[in-house]
Amino acid sequence: MSHLNMDSVARATPRHLSRRIRGLSDRAIAWVFVAPTIFLLLAVNIFPLIWTIRLSFTNYAANRPNAEVQWIGLRNYERILSDPDTWATMQATAHFLFWTIVFQVMIGFALAWLINQKFRGNDLWTTIIVLPMMLSPAVVGNFWTLLYQPQLGLFNSIVGFFSGADPTSFSMIGDVHLAPWSIVIVDTWMWTPFVMLICLAGLRSIPDSIYEAAECDRASRWRQFWTITVPMVLPFLMLAVLFRGIENFKMFDLVVQLTGGGPGNITTLTSIELKREAFEKWRTGYSSAYAVILFVTVFGLASIYVKALNRVKDR
Amino acid sequence: MAEVVLRNLAKSFGTTQAVRDVSFTVPDGAFVVLLGPTGAGKTTLLRLIAGLERPDCGEIMIAGRPVASDTPAERNVAMVFQQYSLYPHMSVRDNLAFPLRSPMLRTPEPEIALKVRAVAETLKIAHKLDNKATALSGGEMQRVSIGRALVRAPSIYLMDEPLSSLDAKLRTDLRVELKRIQTSLGATFLYVTHDQIEAMTMATHVGVLDEGRLVQFGTPREIYETPASLYVAGRLGLPRMNMLPAALFAGAPPGAQTIGLRPENIVQGTGRPARVVRIEHLGDQTRLHLVFDGHEIVTLTDPHTGLEPGDLVPIEPMNPLYFDADGARIARGDY
């Protein structure tokens, strides 16, 4: 009797009814939900990737669609890798990537550590500190060009005030030695709060009781920092480095707005170079090969890094 | 090891008074157990002694020295936390070695290795030394936590329900082991538990706390046989003391409101009849649930008793305790 009752209850549920009407299995319903996403992924990610790889072996130019397309094998790759400009661009990107990550990790962690100390108003300080990352990169680029103005820029005035140098005697954006640092400073200003937030999440995940146990175990503050805080925040810190690394490898808008890749080519990062090749010089095949090289580089480095990250997490 | 003296200690958290005017002495080499329900202030007392909390007023002396301004490290106490508080990113070996690697101790690495191995073997976790601390069962974590305290020789061991998450057999084994370690080292222990067997078998002294106040401090036998109040009487004894209206039996002293009868203090075979409601055979003891004049009574009986539910059995109190209307015990000399 109870079986009959249960059956009748089950039959009365709308879900059961709708499935019966459609006659679909659970598996089929799962496919109905997943298919649009798979289709979208194939259309906007996988197909362009395969198409780019194909184009990278040709001399195709998008502004001459009717011109004959020739299969030139690996010639694009050979030209890119033997071009000194490519390596100069890579060097500029590496400089930008390395120093932004170093500064953001150091300052971000220090800020997170300070904010994590229990003091009045730390929520307000957190909000103030994260403001830069809420701004648009184009806006940030624009107003930092003003701050870097030798005549009226606040940055030059402050540096001049503390160093005693004449503020008009140097131009952060116009000087070949200072321009690479100018983009590092702006990116650090904008994205350090992001690293700080991730570090703060890591710091707040450490229960107070662990520090209490360490105090009872006669560990000094210094020892607690190096044997508890740092190892326990490290996975979070590595995650922040991964995010910032990937983001900065494809940095474009902020730098274009600030320096436009100049002076000369000194702040031309790979993404800027790629855009020039693809949409100013219209060397589509060549730029496709460039894009593939960048993709393989980022993907390879990120894969190695993620493996290291997992090892640290599983320690 | 050292003597620990608490004088007029008080601590509040906001409007909650966690510890009120507590004074007692943990003699050098003593095993003091603190009893009390959740919220009685047991853990706060341990934290005050450890230096993890600052008292609002009162004094703490360790080895004759006031330690109010000392850090936990300077107090040289070892604490076992109820929630283990292991270092999750370290192996069991590194967790156990952590206190020994303190720059204040400067223990050589070979000595650390020997001590860690010895403690791990005592606590039966030697095979887990290279495991990550989080890859252990609850019981194993608690043993690592105990080991981290036992691996060094502090002024006092503070233990907050250290055996609570172990299975019955391991709890018994470790109870014996802890007592053996305490006796052999002559160590001073302050130990919080809810388990009366732990209290009775391990303690040299028992302190009973009620809402932050120390209501009685004495040997386990004193606490059991001459509790200061109904509250204290209810903290020790299993089955619990039967608390009945004093007028139920003849011979109550003037002012007596409640008669307290331990299960073993009820004589069967003489007196007025009680009806058997239920018999529980627990192996080591047999409990007899009775109804006497409408009041439920639990007593013990012969394991091979022939009594059945519904039977009538005459009972009579023996060495009863009497309590007044405020729950305070009326001293024997007064009746």
What are A142-180's pLDDT values in tens digits? Answer: 889 999 988 888 999 999 889 888 888 888 888 899 999
Does A38 have pLDDT greater than 70? Answer: yes
pLDDT of residue B200: 86
For testing contact with chain A, the best of B81, B85, B91, B94 (most A CBs within 10 A): B85
Residue among A209, A223, A232 minimizing CB distance to B85? A209
pLDDT in tens, A241-254: 999 999 999 899 99
B13 touches chain A (CB under 8 A): no
pLDDT of residue B189: 94
Q: Which two tokens stand for residue A191?
A: 């994205």
The answer to whether position A74 is within a domain reads no
| In a shared domain, residues A7 and A130 | no
Average pLDDT, integer, range A97-123: 92
What ipTM was estimated for this complex? 0.83
Distance CA B142, CA B165 (A): 7
Question: Which amino acid would we find at residue A89?
Answer: T
Residues linked to residue B243 through DSSP beta bridges, in sequence order = B260
Q: Give B149→chain A minimum CA distance, Å.
A: 8
Return the closest-CA partner of residue B320 out of B205, B203, B207, B226: B226
Q: Do B52 and A212 touch (CB under 8 A)?
A: yes
pLDDT of residue B315: 93
The answer to whether position A147 is within a domain reads yes
Greater pLDDT, B84 or A8? B84
Question: Which amino acid would we find at residue B131?
Answer: N
CA atoms within 13 A of residue B63's CA, in its CB half-sphere = 11
| In a shared domain, residues A101 and A189 | yes
| In a shared domain, residues A260 and A163 | yes
| In a shared domain, residues A102 and A176 | yes
Domain harbouring A169, CATH code: 1.10.3720.10
B79 touches chain A (CB under 8 A): yes
Contact B209, B178 (CB under 8 A): no
Question: Which amino acid would we find at residue B293?
Answer: D
Residue among A210, A215, A218 minimizing CB distance to B87? A210
For the entire predicted model, the pTM comes to 0.79
| In a shared domain, residues A36 and A131 | no
| In a shared domain, residues A42 and A155 | no
Residues 6+ apart with CB under 8 A from A148: A155, A156, A171, A172, A173, A182, A258
Mean residue pLDDT of chain A comes to 89
| In a shared domain, residues A208 and A266 | yes
The answer to whether position A66 is within a domain reads no
Q: Which two tokens stand for residue A238?
A: 């590595």
For testing contact with chain B, the best of A209, A218, A223 (most B CBs within 10 A): A218
Q: Give A245→chain B minimum CA distance, Å.
A: 26
| In a shared domain, residues A47 and A115 | no
Distance CA B277, CA B248 (A): 19
| In a shared domain, residues A153 and A278 | yes
pLDDT in tens, A39-89: 999 999 999 999 999 999 999 988 888 888 889 989 999 999 999 999 999
The answer to whether position A299 is within a domain reads yes
pLDDT of residue A6: 54
For testing contact with chain A, the best of B81, B86, B98 (most A CBs within 10 A): B98
Contact B297, B242 (CB under 8 A): yes
Return the closest-CA partner of residue B48 out of B64, B70, B16, B15: B70
Look-up: residue for tokens 């070996």?
B93
Q: Do A218 and B88 touch (CB under 8 A)?
A: no
Distance CA A23, CA A11 (A): 14
Contact B281, B303 (CB under 8 A): yes
Give the sign of the dihedral formed by CA A256, CA A262, CA A266, CA A268.
positive
Distance CA A49, CA B83 (A): 52
Contact A252, A278 (CB under 8 A): no
The answer to whether position A272 is within a domain reads yes
pLDDT in tens, A261-310: 879 889 999 999 999 999 999 999 999 999 999 999 999 999 999 999 88
pLDDT of residue A1: 45
| In a shared domain, residues A128 and A166 | yes
The answer to whether position A69 is within a domain reads no
Which stretches in chain B have pLDDT values below 50?
none
The answer to whether position A217 is within a domain reads yes
| In a shared domain, residues A27 and A144 | no
The answer to whether position A60 is within a domain reads no
Distance CA B335, CA A148 (A): 95
B153 touches chain A (CB under 8 A): no
Residue among A212, A217, A232 minimizing CB distance to B102? A217
pLDDT of residue B59: 94
Residues of B in contact with A215 (CB under 8 A): 51-52, 71-73
pLDDT of residue A17: 57
DSSP B329: B
pLDDT of residue B166: 82
Q: Which residues of B201-231 are buried (b: 16+ CB within 10 A; e: fewer)?
A: ebbbbbbbbbbbebbbbbebeebbeebbbbb
HEC sequence for A258-309: HCCCCCCCCCCCHHHHHHHHHHCCCCHHHHHHHHHHHHHHHHHHHHHHHHHH
| In a shared domain, residues A101 and A246 | yes
pLDDT of residue B287: 93
Range of the domain at A33: 2-55
If DSSP codes are grouped into helix, strand and coil, which group holds residue A184? helix
B71 touches chain A (CB under 8 A): yes
B88 touches chain A (CB under 8 A): yes
Distance CA A197, CA A186 (A): 18
Pairing outcome for strands B31-35 and B189-192: parallel
Q: Which residues of B173-195 are buried (b: 16+ CB within 10 A; e: fewer)?
A: ebbebbbebbeeeebbbbbbbeb
Q: Do A217 and B99 touch (CB under 8 A)?
A: yes
Residues of A in contact with B71 (CB under 8 A): 215
If DSSP codes are grouped into helix, strand and coil, which group holds residue B148? helix
Look-up: residue for tokens 């690479």?
A180
Count of domains in chain A?
A: 2
